[in-house]
Amino acid sequence: MAATNTTPGTLEEFGLTRERVPRHVAIIMDGNGRWAQSRRLPRIEGHRRGVKSVRTVVEACAELKAIDQLTLFCLSSENWKRPRRELDLLMSLLEQYVIEERSEIMRQDLRFTMIGRTEELNQGVLQEVERTVECSRDNRGMRLCLAVNYGSRAEMVDAIRDIAGDVANGELSPEDVDEDLVSSRLYTAGMSDPDLLIRTAGEMRVSNFLLWQISYAEIWVTQKYWPEFHRNDLLEALQDYASRERRFGGLTK
């Protein structure tokens, strides 16, 4: 059932129940550049328009008061292959977003965080990120997590190096290494695994995003480019998720 209401509402108004709503939603926000090119606009205009979709989706998730975490794939470690000018503009947009949305993050009681090899970002961006993380630390609402300079394989390499160092130092033995230990060394330590992975722009791949964490996530793909993704599309994804039977390798009764 597709959502048609464009205004905030309760779960019940959208045919949803708290028990059937994903606690953690992750989104691969794809298609900004293609959206712009299809309109003969510079690629950066697609990224600017994509920020509006971020605001819409964050607000919608927070208003439902049933989603514990929203993780957005903003910039992959592979994206550094793009033209320098585009990357500089992306960093500028990220810094601008973190500054401009700080008051909204506090108003909506969101807990803001960022994952990835963030130490490789420029100092201006890092300072604003750290400021927003710190001021929202005691908030009690939904966690908003941005994945920036993120790659899941790099995340696993960092976790393995960390564990290997402890083994080499005698702090751990190989027998101590299990799934819980690995999870505790990932960038997402302390976070729940995503229940629902949304991807825009019709691509049928996960693009090195949260490979460990999405092992049992439900996947929902839309042909729409990210700048075209709005509240209705999110609600449609949530309704589709609610209709599925999650078995985690077992059998339904």
Task: Specify the DSSP class assigned to residue 224.
Answer: S
Helical (H) or strand (E) element with 71: strand 69-76
Active site residue 5: no
Distance separating alpha carbons of residues 221 and 223, to the nearest angstrom = 7
Active-site choice (68, 79, 166, 208): 79
Active-site choice (30, 32, 195, 233): 30
Other beta carbons within 10 angstroms of residue 78's beta carbon come to 14
Active site residue 30: yes
- Helix ranges (DSSP H) in the chain: 32-38, 43-64, 84-100, 102-107, 123-135, 152-168, 179-185, 231-242
In this structure, the dihedral spanned by the alpha carbons of residues 175, 117, 126 and 72, taken in order and rounded to 10 degrees, is: -100
Give me the active site residues, please.
30, 79
